[in-house]
Structure 1
Amino acid sequence: AGGPRPLLYAKSARLAELSRLLPVNQDRTALVHSLIDAYGLLEGCAVEEARPASLAQLLQYHSRDYLAALALWDQLPERRRADFGLEDDCPPFHGLYELAALTAGGSLAAAAGLCSRLHRTAVHLDGGRHHARKSRAAGFCYTNDVVLAILQLLGSFKRVLYLDLDVHHGDVVEEAFQLTSRVLTISLHKHAPGFFPGTGGGGGTGGGTGGGAGFALNLPLRDGLRDGLFVRAFEEVAGGAVAAYQPDCLVVQCGVDGLAHDPLAASWALTPAAFAACARRAAAWGRPLLVLGGGGYDSPSAACTWAGVVAALLGMQLPDDIPEHEYFGRYGPGF
């Protein structure tokens, strides 16, 4: 009972190696964890080396056929691979199943830390893969660690509030829980013709069906969005939801592809300060809190932003200068 409960920080050295095989963000995992460590932030955390999710854990959401395809893709004809989404932005590669299982395993380990009541806050910045479907990869996502983590949280918490800050709509998380009132999903994102994934256009509580009707809230926001409006929207919409829905647990998908100059999304004009402000606010609501990563396609920018998020969760401010460390040369004079 007594004593402070440190922030649980899940990561995987093996995942950092495997991430170099991805179509984007080959070095992001290494940069993120190295910078957070260099700032000394991990000294205030309980660091957990994540293990791969088991087959039984992955089957809580994904289909057996799909998981077999992730493991044995090189034995499938190209047409069959395409059926599972293993093409274009989700190409298969050797080590894919292990990467997918580790991505899910980190988020499940973080969720387990909350379920055990040993931690009030848990972070897995290699998670947040909100586009992966039950039987299909999509949008650089192979396993939906978000859905798997929320399913685990529902074993210990009655109501979960999911907040998605990625510039892309949290489409599959919304779909996965559209039949239940035990999960309220809120997504702040860009919605425009031809912009992936193309869903989440309706404002208001348009999502959800049956018992989950009204438990999905989408907030499509315009191009060029700046910190002030983003943070205000988060505080008002999410804060209102916390008051009205009274969740027992919060999950924040902290995709940072809304940063100005993101090379892939190139939509919003946010700075790292916006995400730190949202993290501070989420922590202030006083519920058990799971923070996951997501998009963000300039690796040094993503690393700086997530370091600021972890610092905010620890109640700290980052110094202005990037500390000397292995990847110091990747941070130009703009940082």
Structure 2
Amino acid sequence: MTDTPTLRSIDVALGQRSYPVWIGPGLLDDRARWRAMLRGRHALVISNTTVAPLYLERVAAGLEGLQWSAFLLDDGEAHKTFDNVGRALDALAQLGATRDACVVALGGGVVGDLAGFSAACWMRGIDFIQMPTTLLAMVDSSVGGKTGVNLPAGKNLVGAFHQPRAVIADIDTLATLPQREYRAGLAEVVKGAAIGDLPFFAWLEQHADALAARDTAPLIEAIARKVQYKAGVVARDETEQGERALLNLGHTFGHALETAGKYTTLLHGEGVAVGMLLAARLSERLGMSAAADTARLQRLLERLGLPVAIPPGMDPQALLALMRLDKKNTAGTLRLILWRGIGRAEIVGGVDEREVLATLHEATAA
């Protein structure tokens, strides 16, 4: 990682391939930096109706001289659909995009996932650049090449691994991020520490108040440390055959909660926060970890303003049914990411559904 007072640069190294993740202020206006990553003369900017009025004009200034257009989604997880992928591909067709075209994803995780999947599909794969404008996207979904869309049956059931050419994480865009969405992004930061970095978890405990207040220096440090951790995991296991699955701590529970709430009750990061705590409680129930670790995780999540309870009205049996659709499952059995305490996550197959259901019932009654 190369550090300056205002910029962090991290390389995601994948064998013969690599791409930069730039983190700092003013990066959308640093056109010489990111324009150099575009190889052809066509570009499609995919954004949404919330982000585009704020930042599209600045990106457009960097596309001067190219043939480009914009495709805007409505805001929200419910719009990460095949129908919108079709519309994005139609926009590429209308642009006359060739094999050296580039899709620019300007927005949060929904925009990045759909834009990356559209780029993976067009002519069997064209370049795309991530310009995340939410904290959650900066620390997680923009890095690692996971792209996809949702189905009514569940979240992210269709997708492709398609790595970006670059990630441009301009922290100035976080100034317009609503407080709830900012806090949801902090859940993914906590997740990285909970999986495999106990010293980082302790650092987060020490700086929780500053992070909740959006202080710039600790925020940049937290983003960089989380991205550096994820970049290492992705480099070792790009297509999630082993270690990378650990990055899904809390996600099997969390995705079920999001789906049950029709993507309106919980934001993704909120689902991850509740899901991590449920995974910790299940680990404790199975004798894998101590109650003290569960309590420590809950305290940190609460200090960061994150939810720690299943929303009212959700049925444990229905949540378990949704969990059975998770992509990590094998041979009809639940395969979950659990832990043996903070910083020691592991993949556990053949998890007894009765223990999962008991954990859900206990959390619902609490």
- Say whether the fold is shared (TM-score over 0.5): no
Q: Give the structure with the larger helix fraction.
A: 2
Larger Rg: 2
Whose RCO is larger (CA < 8 A, sep 6+)? 1
Give TM-score scaled by structure 1 length.
0.35
